[in-house]
Amino acid sequence: MSKSKLLRKPSWIRSQLPSKNKIAKVENLLRINELKTVCEEAACPNRGECFSCGTATFMIMGDICTRNCRFCNVKHGHPMSLDCKEPNKLAQAVKNMGLKYVVITSVTRDDLEDGGVNHFAVCIKEIRQQNSSIKIEILTPDFRGCMERALDVFEQTPPDVFNHNIETVPRLYKKVCPSADYKLSLNLLKEFKNRMPHIPTKSGMMLGLGETDLEIKQVLTDLREHNVDRLTLGQYLQPTVNHLPVERYVTPQQFNELAQLAKRIGFKHVASGPMVRSSYHAASQ
């Protein structure tokens, strides 16, 4: 029996019951425009609440990732070619939803020479053409092997917030996200900030994968030393029996204590709690 079956979910792990009508409206809009959301693909526990509020984190460049992180519910394998119509479809959906703040993320596309950064840029441009006042947050992969090119593109088409998740502590990278690199992720955040110091940078961690409190505190220190402004901390939840088990459930009090620590060491905004995800209530961060 896996450890995940031995750990009963505590009372504080619960999602709000959403309005089915509002969820159906958002889902219908996504299907009509042939769009994906990370809310659905990653089986986010907050998707019902967010959909009922008319918000979503859009996932571009398909729904198949070139990496196979053991915490993630997104499919992996050989992706399809990019849909050149996707940026316009996305912009239309954002306009139809009446959004004032949108989060755009993507699967990792190591198969693309530019890692997909130009597709990100076209999406940003299309959205702003139809709504010049909208705020755009991007949650990106690490652009392994093409980071300088990605930063060059973002300098020309900057988002309002740049988010790249550090995910976990360095000791657990080989187990949790074996194709990623802790130092590379830190460097991406730092170099983006060096080039665009006026744009907030953001990162997030999942807790409950076997990390220690001391390791968490060291990651927070590393993020601040790399000039990251905003932080999200949430509880890892096992999406299926084929994914990594939950090693522990971090209590709300522990999340509060970590939030206080993060603010003391200089993070400008911190969202920390069992149900927090990197895009949860992003507009208020």
Query: Which domains are present in the chain?
Result: 19-284 (3.20.20.70)
CA-to-CA separations, 157 to 110, 127, 136, 143, in angstroms, rounded:
21, 12, 11, 16
Residues 212-263 pLDDT 10s: 999 999 999 999 999 999 999 999 999 888 899 999 999 999 999 999 999 9
pLDDT at 3: 46
Most confident by average pLDDT, 24-38, 61-75, 224-238, 269-283: 224-238
pLDDT at 2: 45
Question: Residue 68 is encoded by which pair of tokens?
Answer: 């196979």
Question: Residue 90 is encoded by which pair of tokens?
Answer: 């996305």
CA distance 77 to 143: 18
Is residue 168 a contact partner of residue 211, using CB atoms and an 8 Å limit? yes
Residues 107-129 pLDDT 10s: 999 999 999 999 999 999 999 99
**pLDDT grade for 53, boundaries at 50, 70 and 90:** low
Mean pLDDT confidence for 55-66: 85
pLDDT at 274: 93
Most confident by average pLDDT, 17-26, 91-100, 216-225, 272-281: 216-225
Express as a percent the part of the chain with pLDDT over 70.
Answer: 81
Question: Residue 4 is encoded by which pair of tokens?
Answer: 């995940």
Residues 259-276 pLDDT 10s: 999 999 999 999 999 989
Mean pLDDT confidence for 44-57: 55
Residue predicted with more confidence, 19 or 95: 95
pLDDT at 261: 98
Is residue 127 a contact partner of residue 134, using CB atoms and an 8 Å limit? yes
pLDDT at 67: 93
Q: What is the pTM of this model?
A: 0.88
Average pLDDT, the chain: 87
Residue predicted with more confidence, 36 or 56: 56
Specify the 3-state DSSP secondary structure of 41.
helix
Residue predicted with more confidence, 132 or 212: 212
Q: How many CB atoms lie within 10 A of CB 203?
A: 27
pLDDT at 30: 61
CA distance 251 to 257: 10
CA distance 283 to 285: 6
CA distance 224 to 136: 23
Mean pLDDT confidence for 50-67: 76
- DSSP 3-state helix, strand, coil percentages of the chain (rounded to 5)? 40, 15, 45
Specify the 3-state DSSP secondary structure of 157.
coil
